[in-house]
Amino acid sequence: MHHQSALDVASFGCPIRLSGGASNLPLKANIMQHDRFDNPIVVKSEAEGGQQSLRTAREARDFLLTSWPGKKSEKYRAAIQACHDAELGEKPAMAARRAFMTASREVDIILN
């Protein structure tokens, strides 16, 4: 029996449909792993009890877009782009982490 399975993969911005049911689970795992940082970034945050750990390029991008405390400089914009590229698998997560750290130093939010 051919079974259609819908996966809600937020990094694509919309649900995607893959055929084959459970056989697609490794694909989902691969999609979700390529943007994971080797070491989380711990930042100052008004939410989360004063600090927040960012473990993936998606989490870093979400922080940039929703919780960024400083000006939206060129380094800030480069960090958003690097995180986006890492989410899509076009750049390594390490590049997104590095760009986020560079932008974060401008606003002094790094705790680790």
pLDDT tens-place string over residues 89-111 = 999 999 999 999 999 999 999 99
pLDDT band at 45 (very low <50, low <70, confident <90, very high): confident
The CB density around residue 43, as the number of other CB atoms within 10 Å, is: 23
Average pLDDT over residues 80-91: 96
| Phi, psi for residue 44 in degrees, rounded to 5 | -65, 140
| DSSP at 79 | H
Domain coordinates in residue numbering, the chain: 1-33, 35-107
Model pTM score: 0.70
Buried b (16+ CB within 10 A) or exposed e, 78-101: ebbebbbbbbeeebebeebbebbb
pLDDT tens-place string over residues 59-81 = 999 999 999 998 999 999 999 99
Q: What tokens does 57 get?
A: 């390029």
